[in-house]
Homo-oligomer: A and B are copies of this chain.
Amino acid sequence: MRKLYHPQVDEINLSTVLYALSDEIRLQIIKSLADHGEQACNQFDIPLPNSTLSHHYKVLRESGVTHTRIEGTQRFVSLRYDDLNVRFPGLLQAVLQGLEPRA
């Protein structure tokens, strides 16, 4: 695995993105990225086997929600905030706001 697949902005599909965001674990990942910015895979504090997490990173990446950068043996994941905002303005913001605990 030299290169990881990332859809181009134009290829990002609405139902695929919504699907990627419809899972509690993946929402946790997104929330963590929104709060802390780019993070290495081993910095997420989610108590699940790596193989399971890796699956979720892949779903998020292939849907166009996240970008994964390789550096050494690590993978750095970030939100494709601007790309998503071009393709689906306001969507990610609304989802992130929906993740905030209610008053």
A24 CA / B14 CA spacing, docked (Å): 9
Which of the four size classes fits the interface of chain A?
20 to 34
> How many monomers of this protein are in the complex?
2
In Å, the complex CA distance between A70 and B5 comes to 47
* Nearest CB on B from A15, distance (A): 5
Q: Would you call A95 and B27 a contact (CB within 8 A)? A: no
A4 interface residue, CB < 8 Å from B?
no
A45 lies within 8 A of chain B by Cβ: no
Across the interface, name the chain B residue whose C-beta is closest to A24: B15
A23 and B21 CA atoms in complex are apart in Å by 13
Residues of B within 8 A of A53 (CB): none
CA of A22 to CA of B98 in the docked complex: distance in angstroms?
17
